[in-house]
């Protein structure tokens, strides 16, 4: 309401007869359609504005209450239209309360001084003793937090970023708290200096101090029973409930934090799920999952990660304090009772098994098994690429993106393979080939960055990585041909070089980075960083928009990178028999090269490698999936029955192998591979090529 009036003497008398009182009735303003019958047993003080009250609030079980204020003390508040405030045992002070909101059976809600509502709080991630602090604020993204935490070797960049964040915090500073429209607050104990967004649902919270709960109609936020939170921000669509304890934490969009989970100095980004366990100084990127009581995540950086029961790390070597940190790159899985003594760096999509004390750095070898053998860390490069579990994970992550907010804070690329991971695989392949040449077949093992390999796993890794490269480049070419309409059923387009040409508008460097879910070319990231260092960007929104522009154009940047890489990899630059050589590629790669055309014969060669690689990969995945249905896994089935009963019981619970949805998808994929390959080859034969 924008129009308020003073109460009439008759209205004041009526209210006093209904148990109401005010320190000064002249400071109480009401809407033109104010009706005294909806205010009972209320104490008013300071400046209070009250909107219209002509609606009904429905409760669970069929009970309803008319909007109004009943049994409450209100001080210095602006109360919107059709609000229900009922049974406030102490008071509500210094709050603006939006329309259609209900606050029932609560103890104390107030703001008593200028507050940033959790914005600007420094969270000591990774290094528990400090040095990598991230200032949290309402618009924090996983990629911006990555820069703030990891780029400390660029002090001007960090200083300017922190200045822009501080400017944002100053803009929202207020001595008045906000409770939005259509909010439900029930059975809460204390809410102090906390902003609460539209459509939030708070039920049974114990204590919320100095924070913000962001929420929208499309993505309402729930904060439930027993939650205690200090110095925090919770983003839209998230659920925090069942005795969670948070201190100095940022909760990203559509996270689920529940069931006695405790955390301090930690960041949790989109779609993260944490239950039962504990985190300290953790950077949990998108889709970090930890569900078990016995799990402690500490001083680590994770994303797309699944932590098994008993997963643990150490950041304190009993010398100079808790100063150590570690990184597991995207997609890692930690088996039950896995342990890592930081510092360590585990490569992307790796499976961590056992306990690791030697500070391994396996970041050069994505898709690996990192296994404890006799207190040593062994690497099996590429072994996790061929598993059914990895493939299932890659399919489920995007399906589990539950963000409904129209504005998404985190830019997340979900593809299993992309320029960042393929660049790592190309480097890994070069390293493995070099290691194999310099070792003897009789060598049992040798050390690479504090981890052990042997020739058997090296040869297997070389084969798997070659499969991954051939499959990826073929996938991208086919995707691009589809985009150009070459594979349309009624298309008569002849193959020509323009179909696979480079668009220099989207040039990218050879090297790409993963900014906690956001895959970005190095040159584009450094360009934004340079703008920030030079003071060319005026606010956080401008930075976020630049990142969003790159994210929206990801497929174009990816295509150009692949198109150039394909020329290096398959022979345009093979004048000295150097194609496929990592050092030659990286030393000669240019952002603005114009590659020679891919002729028909070269295209057929690439597609043949793609077909073979795809089919071989699916065969390996299919073989891995059969292990789940082996007789060994029938143990415990068919109790008190015959061997046939054991098998039938297993089938009743899990179904037949050939009927499994994942298995069916593999078979379908194999058929699509053959159909697509034959379709392109037939079309090349039928329509030939043109010179355009």
Q: What is the pLDDT of residues 501-517, one digit of tens each?
A: 877 788 888 899 999 99
The SS3 call for residue 334 is: strand
Separation between Cα atoms, residue 302 and residue 284, nearest integer Å: 5
Burial environment of residue 197 by CB neighbours within 10 A (0 to 12, 13 to 18, 19 or more): buried
CA 632, 637, 638, 644 dihedral sign is negative
Structure tokens at 156: 């001007």
In-domain check, residue 21: yes
Separation between Cα atoms, residue 220 and residue 450, nearest integer Å: 47
Poorest-confidence range of 222-226, 572-576, 617-621?
572-576
pLDDT of 321 over the 60 cut: yes
Calculate mean pLDDT across residues 197-212: 98
pLDDT of 84 over the 90 cut: yes
Buried b (16+ CB within 10 A) or exposed e, 212-227: bbbbbeebbbbbbeeb
Contact 169, 187 (CB under 8 A): no
In-domain check, residue 302: no
At residue 589, the pLDDT reads: 57
pLDDT of 690 over the 70 cut: no
pLDDT digits (tens, 9 = 90+) for 622-652: 788 788 778 888 888 888 888 888 888 888 8
Calculate mean pLDDT across residues 515-539: 96
At residue 63, the pLDDT reads: 93
At residue 391, the pLDDT reads: 83
pLDDT of 489 over the 90 cut: no
What are the residues facing 22 on neighbouring strands? Answer: 44
Beta-strand ranges (E) seen in 291-432 are: 296-298, 300-302, 306-307, 312-314, 326-328, 333-334, 339-341, 344-346, 351-353, 355-356, 369-373, 376-380
Calculate mean pLDDT across residues 346-355: 96
pLDDT digits (tens, 9 = 90+) for 371-387: 998 888 999 999 999 98
Higher pLDDT, 536 or 651: 536
At residue 467, the pLDDT reads: 95
Total of domains in the chain? 1
Contact 385, 367 (CB under 8 A): yes
* Angle formed at CA 162 by CA 161 and CA 167, multiple of 5 degrees: 100
At residue 683, the pLDDT reads: 85
Poorest-confidence range of 47-56, 192-201, 421-430, 599-608?
599-608
In-domain check, residue 655: no
Separation between Cα atoms, residue 331 and residue 336, nearest integer Å: 16
In-domain check, residue 93: yes
At residue 558, the pLDDT reads: 95
Calculate mean pLDDT across residues 240-258: 98
Q: What is the number of H-type helices and E-type strands within the chain?
A: 13, 43
Domain that holds residue 97: 1-110
Contact 328, 305 (CB under 8 A): yes
The chain-wide mean pLDDT, for the chain, equals 90
Place of tokens 């960007």: 537
pLDDT of 573 over the 50 cut: no
pLDDT of 664 over the 70 cut: yes
Burial environment of residue 332 by CB neighbours within 10 A (0 to 12, 13 to 18, 19 or more): buried
Q: What percent of the chain has pLDDT over 70?
A: 94
Separation between Cα atoms, residue 289 and residue 308, nearest integer Å: 9
Contact 345, 327 (CB under 8 A): yes
Calculate mean pLDDT across residues 337-353: 96
Separation between Cα atoms, residue 340 and residue 310, nearest integer Å: 12
In-domain check, residue 509: no
At residue 582, the pLDDT reads: 52
At residue 440, the pLDDT reads: 64
Q: What is the dihedral of CA 331, 337, 338, 342, to 10 degrees?
A: 120
Calculate mean pLDDT across residues 352-360: 95
pLDDT digits (tens, 9 = 90+) for 401-434: 999 999 999 999 999 999 999 999 999 998 998 8
pLDDT of 585 over the 60 cut: no
Burial environment of residue 426 by CB neighbours within 10 A (0 to 12, 13 to 18, 19 or more): buried
Buried b (16+ CB within 10 A) or exposed e, 161-191: bbebbeebbeebebeebbbbbbbbbbebbbb
- Identify the band that residue 9 occupies on the pLDDT scale cut at 50, 70 and 90: very high
pLDDT of 583 over the 70 cut: no
What Rg, from alpha-carbon coordinates, does the chain have? 30
In-domain check, residue 185: no
pLDDT digits (tens, 9 = 90+) for 104-147: 999 999 999 899 999 999 999 999 889 999 999 999 999 999 99
Calculate mean pLDDT across residues 261-265: 97
In-domain check, residue 51: yes
Contact 94, 117 (CB under 8 A): no
Calculate mean pLDDT across residues 541-548: 97
Calculate mean pLDDT across residues 189-216: 98
In-domain check, residue 524: no
Contact 671, 679 (CB under 8 A): no
For residue 633, the 8-state DSSP code is G
Structure tokens at 111: 């703001």
Separation between Cα atoms, residue 106 and residue 488, nearest integer Å: 62
CB-based contacts of 268: which residues, under 8 Å, 6+ apart? 249, 250, 251, 252, 255, 257, 274, 282, 284, 288
At residue 494, the pLDDT reads: 79
pLDDT digits (tens, 9 = 90+) for 265-314: 999 999 999 999 999 999 999 999 999 999 999 999 999 999 999 999 99
* Angle formed at CA 686 by CA 683 and CA 690, multiple of 5 degrees: 85
Distances (CA, A) of 686 to 495, 605, 683: 10, 18, 5
Calculate mean pLDDT across residues 336-357: 95
Calculate mean pLDDT across residues 602-611: 90
Separation between Cα atoms, residue 157 and residue 688, nearest integer Å: 54
The SS3 call for residue 73 is: strand
The SS3 call for residue 656 is: coil
pLDDT digits (tens, 9 = 90+) for 138-179: 999 999 999 999 999 999 999 999 999 999 999 999 999 999
At residue 669, the pLDDT reads: 82
Distances (CA, A) of 410 to 143, 261, 523, 544: 7, 23, 20, 10
* Angle formed at CA 569 by CA 563 and CA 572, multiple of 5 degrees: 80
Q: What is the dihedral of CA 630, 631, 634, 635, to 10 degrees?
A: -120
Place of tokens 């964040």: 165
pLDDT of 576 over the 60 cut: no
Separation between Cα atoms, residue 519 and residue 410, nearest integer Å: 11
């Amino acid at each position: 309401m924008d129009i308020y009036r003073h109460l009439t003497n008759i209205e004041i008398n009526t209210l006093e007869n209904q148990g109401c009182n005010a320190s000064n009735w002249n400071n109480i303003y009401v809407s033109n359609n104010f009706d005294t019958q909806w205010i009972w047993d209320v104490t008013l003080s300071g400046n209070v504005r009250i909107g219209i009250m002509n609606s009904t609030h429905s409760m669970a079980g069929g009970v309803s209450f008319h909007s109004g204020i009943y049994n409450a003390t209100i001080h210095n508040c602006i109360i919107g239209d059709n609000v229900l405030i009922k049974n406030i045992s102490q008071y509500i002070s210094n709050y603006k309360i939006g329309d259609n909101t209900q606050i029932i059976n609560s103890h104390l809600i107030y703001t008593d001084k200028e507050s940033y509502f959790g914005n600007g709080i420094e969270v000591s991630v990774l290094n528990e003793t400090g040095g990598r602090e991230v200032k949290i604020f309402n618009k924090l993204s996983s990629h911006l937090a990555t820069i703030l935490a990891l780029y400390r070797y660029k002090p001007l960049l960090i200083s300017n970023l922190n200045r822009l964040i501080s400017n944002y915090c100053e803009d929202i500073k207020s001595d008045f708290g906000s409770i939005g429209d259509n909010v439900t607050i029930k059975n809460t104990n204390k809410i102090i200096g906390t902003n609460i967004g539209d459509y939030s649902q708070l039920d049974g919270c114990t204590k919320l101090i100095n924070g913000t709960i962001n929420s929208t109609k499309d993505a309402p936020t729930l904060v439930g029973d027993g939650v205690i939170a200090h110095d925090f921000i919770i983003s839209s669509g998230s659920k925090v409930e069942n005795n969670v304890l948070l201190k100095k934490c940022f909760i990203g969009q559509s996270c689920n934090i529940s069931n006695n989970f405790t955390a301090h100095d930690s960041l949790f980004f989109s779609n993260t799920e944490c239950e039962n366990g504990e985190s300290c100084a953790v950077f949990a990127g998108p889709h970090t999952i930890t569900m078990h009581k016995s799990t402690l995540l500490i001083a680590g950086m994770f994303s797309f990660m699944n932590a098994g029961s008993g997963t643990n790390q150490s950041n304190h070597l009993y010398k100079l304090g808790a100063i150590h940190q570690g990184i597991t790159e995207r997609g890692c899985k930690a088996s039950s009772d896995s342990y890592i003594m930081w510092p360590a760096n585990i490569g992307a999509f790796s499976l961590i098994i056992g306990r690791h004390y030697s500070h391994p750095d396996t970041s050069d070898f994505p898709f690996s098994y990192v296994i404890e053998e006799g207190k040593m860390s062994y690497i099996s490069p590429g072994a996790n690429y061929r598993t059914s579990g990895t493939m299932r994970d890659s399919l489920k992550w995007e399906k589990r993106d539950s963000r409904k907010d129209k504005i998404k804070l985190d830019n997340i690329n979900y593809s299993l393979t992309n320029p960042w991971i393929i660049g790592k695989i190309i480097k890994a392949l070069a390293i493995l080939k070099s290691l194999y040449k310099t070792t003897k077949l009789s060598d049992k093992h040798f050390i690479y960055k504090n981890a052990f390999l042997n020739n058997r796993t090296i040869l297997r890794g070389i084969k798997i990585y070659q499969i991954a490269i051939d499959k990826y480049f073929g996938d991208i070419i086919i995707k691009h041909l589809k985009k150009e309409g070459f594979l349309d059923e009624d298309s008569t387009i002849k193959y020509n070089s323009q179909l696979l040409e480079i668009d220099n508008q989207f040039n990218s460097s050879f090297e790409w980075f993963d900014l906690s879910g956001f895959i970005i070319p190095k040159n584009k990231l450094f360009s934004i960083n340079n703008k920030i260092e030079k003071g060319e960007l005026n606010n956080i929104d401008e930075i976020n928009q630049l990142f969003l522009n790159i994210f929206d154009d990801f497929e174009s940047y990816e295509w150009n990178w692949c198109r150039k890489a394909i020329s290096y990899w398959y022979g345009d630059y093979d004048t000295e028999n150097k194609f496929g050589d990592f050092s030659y590629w990286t030393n000669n790669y240019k952002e603005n090269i114009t590659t020679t055309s891919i002729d028909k014969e070269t295209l057929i060669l690439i597609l043949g490698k793609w077909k073979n690689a795809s089919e071989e990969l699916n065969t390996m995945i299919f073989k891995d999936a059969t292990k789940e249905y082996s007789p060994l896994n029938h143990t415990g089935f068919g109790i008190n029955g015959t061997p046939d009963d054991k098998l039938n019981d297993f089938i009743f619970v899990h179904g037949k192998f050939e009927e499994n949805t994942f298995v069916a998808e593999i078979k379908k994929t194999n058929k699509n591979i053959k159909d697509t390959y034959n379709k392109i080859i037939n079309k090349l034969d039928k329509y030939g090529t043109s010179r355009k």
